[in-house]
Amino acid sequence: MGLLKRDLGLVAVTDLSSMRVNKTLRDAAQEAIEGGVTMVVLNEPTLPHDALMKEAVRLKILCGMHDIPFIMMRHVDIADAVDADGIVVAYEEFDPVNIRAVLGADRSIGVLVSKPEEAEKSAEGGASFLMCGPVNDKHDKDKPDSITTDELEAVCAVVDIPVIAYGGLEDINMLRGTGISGIGAATSIFGQSDVTAAASSLRKLTREIL
């Protein structure tokens, strides 16, 4: 599945650790979709492999019911097993030949980048889209992979593929004019008591910014 710029919008990045309400990840994702998210990324690095596989199966079925992409963070084997629409890998893990050998030519590969040169090399290597974050107004020494809005704009300027900004967003309006094609949110959706309302509010802002 190729991800066109118009297909992105508000991307829900799962975040079990922030969930306030006692519900399943699948139910929380359902509520986020009802609020208007346009893509779901499963990102639960602390879950054991077997548990992650089960969540991936549930979310793939759910996203298929709503005709939106389901993307797996890292774990190429799980992405392949559940027929995910794509995968996101760290720049250091981006091995397009081996990933394509597993996933085939039709599924999307996203790459986590923080610098224009990483963005260029990823695009040249066949990445379908990029993810940048967490995004801050200035560098956060506690988050070495964080990216400023100026750096985000520089990344967008050197590639023709979609760029998703995610994480660390105290004010979503700071993303205006950066050139992004989507906004990813985790705690801002899954960490709220009313997931649907939170997603709906963010989706409205996303439409205004993109």
pLDDT in tens, the chain (210 residues): 456 555 589 999 999 999 877 889 999 999 999 999 999 999 999 999 999 999 999 999 999 999 999 999 999 999 999 999 999 999 999 999 999 999 999 999 999 999 999 999 999 999 999 999 999 876 665 666 789 999 999 999 999 999 999 987 778 888 999 999 999 999 999 999 999 999 999 999 999 998
Contact call for residues 112 and 94 (beta carbons, < 8 A): no
Give domain limits for the chain.
5-209
pLDDT, position 4: 55
Query: What whole-number distance in Å separates Cα of residue 21 and Cα of residue 38?
Result: 22
Question: CB neighbours of 95 closer than 8 A, spacing ≥ 6?
Answer: none
pLDDT, position 170: 74
pLDDT, position 141: 59
Specify the amino acid at residue 13.
Answer: V
Query: What whole-number distance in Å separates Cα of residue 79 and Cα of residue 60?
Result: 10
State how beta strands 163-166 and 147-148 pair. unpaired
Enumerate the β-bridge partners of residue 111.
89, 130
Contact call for residues 89 and 99 (beta carbons, < 8 A): yes
Query: What whole-number distance in Å separates Cα of residue 26 and Cα of residue 60?
Result: 10
CATH architecture of the domain 5-209 equals: Alpha-Beta Barrel (3.20)
Residue 115: other Cβ atoms inside 10 A: 15
State how beta strands 129-132 and 70-73 pair. unpaired
Query: What whole-number distance in Å separates Cα of residue 77 and Cα of residue 89?
Result: 12
pLDDT, position 1: 45
Query: What whole-number distance in Å separates Cα of residue 144 and Cα of residue 44?
Result: 20
